[in-house]
Structure 1
Amino acid sequence: MLKIAAYHKPTTLVEAAALLAEDGRTIIAGGTDLLVNPRYMVGVREVVDIRKLGLNYIRVENGWLHIGAGATMRSVAQQAALQRLANGILARGAAVCGSPNIRNMATLVGNIASALPSADTPPALLALNAEVVLIGTNGERVVPLDNFFVGPAQSVRERELISELRIPLADCDDFRGGFYKIGRTAEDISMVNAAATLKIQGGTITRARLVLGAVAPVPLRVTRAEEALAGQLA
């Protein structure tokens, strides 16, 4: 049983960041990892619930696709723009993340924040060149997802919350993509997953991003294969 001394429900990002700056506090949004995995609660005495911050958006603005920290896997899987983007690789990754009940609660940002090697959506996000927007008491900073993960269940976050993920549409709107997952069952965690995007001009591959999950401590960019594909006929 979880023993929580205090449960905070901030109404602004500034308030949430200030709360998270104190020791012994953690964020909850969907709660599907936090509430079932005791290791996430080691040393935690208080919880900061960010569900009242209005972060459940998915929107296109100024050439970027923004996905707020409250957007669930179900909403990502069903969002029309994401179903079209690079053959829907991110929507497809979200659609196979756990059971329907899990997808109704789990958030895309939570899948990134947990930094688990077997997570289903980081490969697709990396293949789409996504960025992470972090909020702390010192303000906002943006980190390329390529630089976010540092090890199993470890990231560059330092008492910060992820307010959103964003994808540069100008960079990848014309990408072709693919996503594949192998698990013990349809609802199980991945034994391996993979995502790829290709930019093709005049029948030739001009750029490739290939990412594997669950095969290394962090999602793995297969850069040698990317380089080998560049210049090949599609």
Structure 2
Amino acid sequence: MAILAEYHRPKTLNGALDLLADRTARRVPLAGGTHLVGALETRQRRDVDGVVDLAALELSYICQNDSSLRVGAMTTLTELVEHPQCADLAAGILPATARFEGPQNLRNAATVGGLVALAEPDSELFAALLALNVSVVAVDKDGNESHRLLADFTLSHPRSSHGPVLITGIQLPLVHAKTGHARIARSPMDRCIVAAVAVAAANGDLSRSGTSGGRNRADTTRTALCGVGSRPQIAGGPVLPTSDYKGSGEYRLAMAEVVGRRARAGATGSRP
């Protein structure tokens, strides 16, 4: 089992941030634990003295706020995709991509905040959130709340000079959109080698954030790619795929073009 010197379960955001800001011990946030617990058990993480469990912070919720949904960071992936508005959003792209995050038991524990914080390179659900132009809501050690687009959001180390930042939720636009999803994997339910998610929003719902993978199209189409860098990213920028046991960097680069084209065709109804 993992050897930890400390375990904390604060009841307030300020309490959690104070614990993470305290430099007398190396503490990290614990959300669903689907990644962190395994890393501690296998000693992949040897830089942790204690965990700050976020379970008591009342961050598990989904509520509508004008033209968007506010989703709490401790909302599980299962709760996200089973919520009626989330399940129907953009032709059901969230449940369609969430099924590739892992088995049902994992999705019952994994959280939205953990998904955003990890930004795993082969996360198709993360790519769907990117294509939907989601914003991340976070709070710093002084209690200041910020909203940043997921495409621009990076989580600094809790012990950095800027101090800890906690993800408290995401803002999910309620867009009327068609979507496309294409992937290449070793088997149908494996994590992807490369994948793409495209969202073609009606009435320019995504236009304020710009377009990608179709910048000259009359419709507003955003395409996000998996497996082409250290995290999923919006198509159109530089990609730096690495080689691993699933495929070489060259193969990933070539296939990214293929899945991107297929996803855009699915979203726009055009030929790939």
Q: TM-score, normalised by structure 1?
A: 0.84
Q: Distance in 2 between matches of 1:186 and 1:54?
A: 36
Distance 1:160 1:198, change over 3 A: same
| Paired amino acid for 1:218 | R
Q: Which residue of 2 aligns with 1:22?
A: 22
Q: Give the superposed CA RMSD.
A: 2.6
| Paired amino acid for 1:85 | L
Deviation string 1:173-210 (CA, Å, 9 cap, x unpaired) is 21111334443345543222221100245xx8421100
Q: Distance in 2 between matches of 1:167 and 1:60?
A: 9
Deviation string 1:60-85 (CA, Å, 9 cap, x unpaired) is 12222111111111111211111111
State the structure with more CA Rg: 2
Q: Which residue of 2 aligns with 1:152?
A: none
Q: Name whichever of 215-224 and 86-95 sits farther off.
A: 215-224
Q: Is the 8 A contact 1:108 1:121 kept in 2?
A: no
Q: Which residue of 1 aligns with 2:180?
A: 178
Q: Secondary structure at the match of 1:41?
A: coil
Q: Is the 8 A contact 1:34 1:40 kept in 2?
A: no
Q: Is the 8 A contact 1:209 1:223 kept in 2?
A: no
Q: Which residue of 2 aligns with 1:223?
A: 236
Q: Distance in 1 between matches of 2:32 and 2:72?
A: 13
2:219 to 195, 206, 215: 206
1:129 paired to 2:133: yes
1:73 paired to 2:77: yes
Distance 1:186 1:79, change over 3 A: farther
Unaligned stretches of 5+ in structure 1?
150-154
Unaligned stretches of 5+ in structure 2?
159-163, 204-216, 238-256
Q: Is the 8 A contact 1:96 1:186 kept in 2?
A: no
Q: Distance in 2 between matches of 1:132 and 1:216?
A: 21
| Paired amino acid for 1:32 | T
Q: Distance in 2 between matches of 1:233 and 1:117?
A: 27
Q: Which residue of 2 aligns with 1:160?
A: 165
Higher strand share: 1
1:9 paired to 2:14: no
Distance 1:11 1:211, change over 3 A: same
| Paired amino acid for 2:60 | N
Q: Distance in 1 between matches of 2:18 and 2:124?
A: 31
Q: Which residue of 1 aligns with 2:63?
A: 59
